[in-house]
Amino acid sequence: MGKILEVNHLTIHIKTHKGTVQAVRDVSFCLNEQETLAVVGESGSGKSITMKGIMGILPKNGKVTEGSVLYDGKELTKLTERQMQNVRGSEIAMVFQDPMTSLNPTMRVGKQIEEMLRAHKKDMTSEQRKKRGLELLELVGISNPEERYRQYPHQLSGGMRQRVVIAIALACEPKVLIADEPTTALDVTIQAQILDLMRSLQTKIKTSIIIITHNLGVVANIADRVAVMYGGKLVETGAVSDIFHNPLHEYTKGLLKSVPKAQEKGGRLQAIPGTPPDLMDPPKGCPFAARCMETMLVCQKFMPEDTDCSENHRSACWLLDERAGGVS
């Protein structure tokens, strides 16, 4: 399997009136063809901003200051806005968190799907577009698509809206689908349906998926590999089994411990004490040092480097250095 997307040393700064937020710091990862990569981490860890940076849809005050995004051999960060528009939607598409707000409330559902086709499939006639739109609605499992096609988003339920959002994203059969917490805003029962839908569509359309989530259940359900982000940095990547059974970074360990388990009745939920670092003025060393139970002096002063531990399992933690007093 080849790499479809390769992100190297991506750094993104966001200017606010209080100062510059170093939202994403030196993040590198790759996405293989037809693979599902889950990106996990708490709010503000830079997951969404990384994805928006890849798509070139950062907010006005955000900027990729360093690093590269290679898609299918193309360097995306060097493309002009116009060239990037051709990539967006047709090659890399995105599904957003809240289906209640991610559809235009004053545009009919059908038209929002057709807009995607109109932008990228220029040779389609309007009948073809409509036919394709209806096909897509059916594909994502919406019953009586003819009727839904003419409706406005507010006439649809949340689960249905998310299906529409997915239909829009898949309209041009993109090679990469980025899903930013696609199930967070939905009911638990609907969540499973949407995940099933994404999995089955992946095999049908042969797309690679990056799914952002902070739900480790979702990760276990759908992902092949996991990338863990903390404080704007990528702290660990690896196959799902590696991450779940042999976590290396202390943050990953904390994250796994904080999942409530059914068999441990009456026990306290394990939280990670403390708060994430201020990315306006990030610490010089490991971003997790202030909350880590195993902090060493070196952690506070120097940034740990990415260390290969086994094939496809990397982590940035000083405990992995041979000089550390034995990995716990």
Q: Which residues lie near another protein (CB under 8 A)?
A: 52, 55, 57, 60, 81-82, 84-90, 93-94, 96-98, 101-107, 115-116, 118-120, 152, 154-155, 165, 168, 273-275, 290-291, 293-302, 305, 307, 318, 320-325
Two tokens, residue 297: 């002096």
Q: How far is the CB of 262 from another protein (least distance, A)?
A: 27
Pick between residue 124 and residue 324 the one whose CB is nearest to another protein.
Answer: 324
* Cα–Cα distance for residue pair 24/70, rounded to 1 Å: 17
Q: How far is the CB of 220 from another protein (least distance, A)?
A: 27
* CA 294 to each of CA 187, 206, 249, 275: distance values in angstroms, whole numbers, following the listed order: 38, 43, 11, 16
Backbone angles phi, psi at 210, to 5 degrees: -110, 120
Pick between residue 142 and residue 286 the one whose CB is nearest to another protein.
Answer: 286
Residues 6 or more apart whose CB falls under 8 angstroms from that of 89 comprise: 116, 119, 120, 169, 171, 172, 174
Q: How far is the CB of 243 from another protein (least distance, A)?
A: 21
Q: Whose CA is closest to 10, among 47, 38, 59, 36?
A: 47
Pick between residue 87 and residue 219 the one whose CB is nearest to another protein.
Answer: 87
Amino acid present at 24: V
Q: How far is the CB of 5 from another protein (least distance, A)?
A: 16
Instruction: Bin 181: left if φ > 0, else alpha if -120 < ψ < 50, else beta.
Output: left
Residues 6 or more apart whose CB falls under 8 angstroms from that of 77 comprise: 64, 67, 68, 69
C-beta separation of 277 from 287 below 8 A? yes
Pick between residue 94 and residue 226 the one whose CB is nearest to another protein.
Answer: 94
> Dmax over Cα atoms in the chain, in whole Å?
69
Pick between residue 220 and residue 324 the one whose CB is nearest to another protein.
Answer: 324
Q: How far is the CB of 101 from another protein (least distance, A)?
A: 4
* Cα–Cα distance for residue pair 271/157, rounded to 1 Å: 34
Q: Which residues pair with 307 in a beta bridge?
A: 315
Pick between residue 77 and residue 224 the one whose CB is nearest to another protein.
Answer: 77
* Cα–Cα distance for residue pair 162/128, rounded to 1 Å: 24
Q: How far is the CB of 263 from another protein (least distance, A)?
A: 26
C-beta separation of 8 from 64 below 8 A? no
Q: How far is the CB of 117 from another protein (least distance, A)?
A: 10
Amino acid present at 189: T
Q: How far is the CB of 1 from another protein (least distance, A)?
A: 26
